[in-house]
């Protein structure tokens, strides 16, 4: 029933962050090299994500917003190897149920004729019309939660905090996506559109951080290339299920940028902490704890700026534990953390502090 659909959708799309996250990840999955996120009235009126990705082929227009439709998974076996962000086919259908939802999309073959798609709350295609456009897709979410009055009032009441969170999340994507030119803009109800930040496509993470946080922040950072050697201790995933024998090790790398440890000085960098697993933004509180503890042994009064991408083999972790895929289970995390602590101390010791 439509009530059940609405309730389930409200569990996939819980706030502005989930809208931005789902749409940006779809654009990345579609191979976009430019992504523009446009807010109206901080997202309360509209969130639009426009990309220059593959576009949606006409034969998929009917099914694109139906529940569990996805083009990204052909069999269950694929799940563990999956490189794309999405795979559940729930985001677009949920957004249909919770907002005024439309898409403008165009593939290479159809350009410059794009199609505007409008949907019913069930995800059923309601109407199509031809408009002009280039290759890519714009997904337009207006009046989020308009049909869930309690949720809508909560969003309006907490808009300051929600806005901070969604901008942080977009900062996090913009910094890590070296192949994507990111632009984020906002237009107040009365007034003109302002660009909040933008990155260049084909950049390094260093250049991205400069464009998002400023050159002063970047100058206060040191670059990390930590190699953590993991020894398989039990018959587990590290060992592909076999008992340990030949003393072989697995390498996990932690790459990125972290505040230069400075004894006792004033604030150098914003205390933003961004963690990723193989380029996928996620919360890693245990890792954050190690970084903070080691850093505070140099400078007790501050927390460091952290941009850390944990690069490891896909069989060493499990991303499918929560629907928003922000939670990641790392196997043998204890060993990784011990190892990380030692490597960080070593890195900091080789700096002039």
**Contact set with ligand ADP (CB under 6 A):** 22, 26-27, 30, 51, 53-54, 56, 64, 69-72, 86-92, 137
Tokens 């994500």 locate to: 49
Which span (90-98, 156-164, 251-259, 307-315) binds Mg ion, by CB under 5 A? Answer: 90-98
Binding-site size, Mg ion (CB under 5 A)? 3
Q: What is the DSSP string of 272-304?
A: -EEEEETTEE---HHHHHHHHHHHHTT-TT---
136 touches 106 (CB < 8 A):
yes
Q: Judged by CB, which is closer to Mg ion: 93, or 239?
A: 93
61 binds, among ligand ADP, Mg ion, none (CB under 5 to 8 A by kind): none
**In the complex, which residue's CB is closest to ligand ADP?**
86
Q: Is 97 in the site for Mg ion (CB under 5 A)?
A: no
Percent of the chain as helix, strand, coil, to the nearest 5: 35, 25, 40
Task: Choose the stretch contacting Mg ion; rule: CB under 5 A; options: 24-32, 45-53, 137-145, 258-266.
Answer: 24-32
Contact string (CB under 5 A) for Mg ion, positions 148-187, x = contact = ----------------------------------------
Q: Choose between 137 and 172: whose C-beta lies nearer to ligand ADP.
A: 137
Counting beta carbons within 10 angstroms of the beta carbon of residue 277, is it exposed (0 to 12), middle (13 to 18) or buried (19 or more)? buried
Q: Which is nearer to Mg ion, 22 or 309 (CB)?
A: 22
Minimal distance in Å, beta carbon 3 to Mg ion? Answer: 24
Residue 132 burial (CB count, 10 A): 10
Which C-beta is closer to ligand ADP: that of 92 or that of 347? 92
Q: Does 86 bind Mg ion (CB under 5 A)?
A: yes
| 326-327-333 Cα angle (round to 5) | 135
Q: Which is nearer to Mg ion, 86 or 281 (CB)?
A: 86
Contact 232, 338 (CB under 8 A): no
What tokens were used for 293?
Answer: 């503890």
- Judged by CB under 5 A, the residue of 9, 26, 99, 208 near Mg ion is 26
Q: How far is the CB of 211 from ligand ADP (least distance, A)?
A: 23
- CB-nearer residue toward ligand ADP: 86 or 304: 86
Query: Which residue lies nearer to ligand ADP by CB, 101 or 287?
Result: 101
Q: Which runs of consecutive H residues, i.e. helices, occur in the chain? A: 2-12, 16-29, 91-98, 149-157, 159-176, 205-213, 215-219, 285-296, 333-349
d(CA 241, CA 230): 15
Least CB distance from residue 51 to ligand ADP, whole Å? 5
CA separation for the pair 348, 344 (Å, rounded): 6
CB of 143 to ligand ADP, least distance (A): 19
Query: Of 16, 17, 65, 91, which one interacts with Mg ion (CB under 5 A)?
Result: 91
55 vs 86, beta carbon nearer Mg ion: 86
β-pairing, 329-330 vs 317-318, is antiparallel
Q: How far apart, in whole angstroms, are the C-alpha atoms of residue 91 and residue 185?
A: 22
User: CB of residue 68 vs ligand ADP: minimum separation in angstroms?
Assistant: 9
Contact footprint for Mg ion (CB under 5 A): 26, 86, 91
């Amino acid at each position: 029933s439509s009530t059940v659909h609405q309730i389930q959708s409200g569990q996939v799309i819980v706030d502005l962050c989930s809208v931005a996250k789902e749409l940006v990840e779809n654009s990345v999955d579609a191979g976009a090299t430019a992504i523009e996120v446009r807010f109206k009235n901080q997202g309360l009126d509209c969130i639009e994500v426009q990309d220059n990705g593959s576009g949606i082929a006409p034969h998929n227009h009917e099914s694109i917003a139906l529940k569990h439709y996805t083009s990204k998974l052909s069999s269950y076996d694929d799940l563990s190897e999956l490189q794309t962000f999405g795979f559940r086919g729930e985001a677009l259908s949920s957004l249909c149920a919770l907002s005024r939802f439309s898409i403008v999309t165009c593939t290479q073959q159809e350009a410059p004729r794009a199609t505007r798609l409008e949907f019913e709350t069930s995800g059923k295609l309601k109407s199509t019309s031809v408009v002009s456009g280039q290759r890519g897709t714009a997904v337009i979410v207006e009046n989020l939660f308009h049909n869930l009055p309690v949720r809508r009032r909560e969003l309006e009441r907490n808009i300051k905090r929600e806005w901070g969170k969604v901008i942080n999340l977009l900062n996090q994507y913009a910094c890590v996506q070296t192949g994507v030119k990111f632009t984020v803009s906002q237009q107040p109800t009365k007034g003109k559109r302002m660009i909040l930040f933008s990155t260049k496509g084909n950049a390094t993470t260093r250049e991205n951080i400069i464009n998002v946080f400023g050159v002063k922040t970047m100058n206060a950072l040191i670059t990390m290339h930590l190699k953590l050697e993991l020894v398989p201790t039990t018959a587990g995933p590290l060992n592909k299920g076999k008992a340990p024998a030949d003393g072989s090790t697995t390498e996990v790398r932690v790459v990125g940028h972290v505040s230069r440890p400075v004894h006792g000085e004033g604030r150098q960098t914003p205390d933003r902490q961004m963690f990723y697993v193989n380029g996928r933004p996620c919360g890693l509180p245990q890792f954050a704890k190690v970084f903070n503890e080691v850093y505070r042994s140099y400078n007790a009064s501050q927390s460091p700026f952290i941009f850390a991408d944990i690069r490891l083999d896909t069989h060493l972790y499990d991303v499918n534990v929560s629907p928003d895929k922000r939670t990641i289970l790392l196997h043998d995390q204890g060993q990784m953390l011990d190892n990380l602590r030692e490597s960080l101390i070593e890195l900091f010791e080789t700096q002039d502090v």
